[in-house]
Structure 1
């Protein structure tokens, strides 16, 4: 996805992509380490039409994981959280909330189904539209979350933590 730049302090892993046929032609492909917990920069912040892609694999015996889009990564004072998605496996809930000026709003919980399965891959897409975030999991629209942070361009950080392995961000 254009405009999304993951800035990390970690060095790049230098694994090589090798041909299964042992061809003499090999491409040097480098993958950044997508370690959890993860914190990365969203180049240019959010705006209507911009999409964030998170791909990963749920851990074997998960309790929870969360994906947050925030206004910076400040801890003190805490950064505004434009949207926090928290997958809770014991209750099979996908909780959504936002924190503006240190105050958490009302949590949203209704979803048509719980899309995450232990030890299985997933694809979350967060599409920013003018009045809301539209969230898709594995290609299916799951819910809308109306903006509580008004300055969309200030939403410039993605944070991911919990019981998952990241495979791709975009």
Structure 2
């Protein structure tokens, strides 16, 4: 089978933990997420959360909380659901085949009423949903764990004649059909209220700078610039031939990395732009003059190849 036929969204390679990303289109029966990585040598626990959104205050519901713990001689896994900021009754699965300092392959298969989890190719647990599967649209990874790859797959891999899960071959970046920059998209009718722009791409091997901007005749009400040398992410605007004061976006670490996929969402709403990166909100940005209907062009240039641009 052609691996592209299974691809839901670009794979993620070597993400920095803690890591959070949008699951494009949410989860549906038959979809899978394959996670390859390793447990830290001094690990006490890590967790993989399938969340209903990415809000931190109030905290999003966690439909499926997968939490390996290593405090005892045998590793065990706690599964639970966080609903309206309260944990429900946890379920403990003992004798988990995960070890400190060792690598693993986790496969999460989402069915109509439950999720099945295999570890290193062998089925280990089932967890019955307590919240609707359709509400799970965000993946979060936290704790003492190293992730090599996250793959998003669309087909049920189970063979009714076999009990083990099959081996899922990793998807590589060169599977994707990528567009070169610079790229321009026009808006003949301007932007509408609550207009969403989605940019998904892959950072190049030796990146320098990446810029995403919205133009309105001679002005630029929105410009996002990632500077790889300075490890900075800034918002700015150009009005009446004059640039504003750059507004640095504060994040715990620089968000872009060479040869890693990214998703940027820009929402035009109520006199401002709202920005999210890989499912995490980065704030609201207000140019001095904001007329969405006058915005007629999107430009993307710099150190990236583009997988998907939706306007």
Normalised TM-score (structure 2):
0.44
Aligned match of 2:143: 162
TM superposition outliers: structure 1 runs of 4+ over 6 Å: none
Does 2:27 correspond to 1:46?
A: yes
Whether 1:74 aligns to 2:55 is yes
Counterparts of residues 10-159 of structure 1 (less than 5 Å) = 32-91=13-72, 92-111=75-94, 113-150=95-132, 152-159=133-140
Length-normalised TM-score, structure 1: 0.79
| Change in 2 beyond 3 A, CA 1:4/1:84 | farther
Measure, in 2, the Cα distance between the counterparts of 1:38 and 1:90. 23
Matched residue pairs, number? 144
How far apart in 2 are the matches of 1:32 and 1:87? 22
- Residue deviations 1:66-88 (CA, integer Å, cap 9, x gap): 10000111011111101111111
The structure carrying a bigger strand percent of its residues is 2
Work out whether residues 125 and 137 of structure 1, in 8 Å CA contact, stay in contact via their aligned partners in 2: yes
Higher relative contact order (CA 8 A, sep 6+): 1
Tell me, in whole angstroms, the C-alpha distance in 1 between the residues paired with 2:16 and 2:102. 18
What is the CA–CA distance in structure 2 between the aligned matches of 1:128 and 1:67, rounded to whole Å? 14
Note the C-alpha offset of 1:33.
4.3
Cα deviation, 1:9-53, whole Å, max 9, x if unaligned, reads xxxxxxxxxxxxxxxxxxxxxx75411111111111011000011
Unmatched runs of 5 consecutive residues or more in structure 2: 1-5, 152-311
